[in-house]
Amino acid sequence: MRNHPDPVHAATARLRTIRESLSALEWTRLTGMFAFIIALNVAGWLIFILYVMPHHFHYKGVGGSRGLGVGLGVAITAWFLGFRHAFDADHISCIDNTTRKLMADGKRPLGTGFFFSFGHSTVIVAVGVGTIEILGILTTEFHLNGAFWDAMANFNINIAGFCIAGLFVLVWAVAIAYWRFGKVEDRWSATVPAESPQVAGQLPDA
């Protein structure tokens, strides 16, 4: 009968290996990154609870309508959706490829994922805030009015998001269908010589 390794023992051995492979400086960097992430989440939740949530029942929509507000349930859902988004395939592949490249160069890339996520989220926040501020300045300073700006003021962002997501899915489906039925991979493979070292699974000599 085959003996299966104890998962607890295997996990303990793995953690011991990780602990012994990191230097004191690397442990300091790792602790700092985790502390920053925790502090950022705590600050975000405090801002929401102290400044956003109290206005939930007093929020007024456009034209004096009741509005929907942002409650705790919406915030928790958004937080978990953002947490899941962090593990999207494009994020993981980008971080993994960058880490492998740096390791191949003889480096120890401990914070690749941290700086990727920090840069990613910072750009999103900056673009959102910048767009809102710029539109506000343009509207106020230049007294913009007319059919276009009235339409923009009443623009339904939900419909825009639905259209963009639907267009993306449509384009993706067409691309997959073309790849599948157009035999793109077969045509590409036919252009690679049979004696190519890449085909043979070997790297060319430097």
Phi/psi for 34 (5° steps) reads -65, -40
pLDDT of residue 126: 85
Cα–Cα distances in angstroms (integers) from residue 35 to residues 23, 31, 40, 114, 186, in the given order: 18, 6, 8, 12, 50
pLDDT of residue 41: 93
pLDDT of residue 202: 45
pTM above 0.85, yes or no: no
Q: What percent of the chain has pLDDT over 90?
A: 12
Average pLDDT of the residues in 190-206: 48
Short-list 80, 111, 79, CA closest to 95: 111
Q: What is the mean pLDDT of the chain?
A: 76
pLDDT of residue 31: 92
Average pLDDT of the residues in 33-55: 88
Q: Are 113 and 33 in contact (CB under 8 A)?
A: no
| Calpha distance 204→202 (Å, rounded) | 7
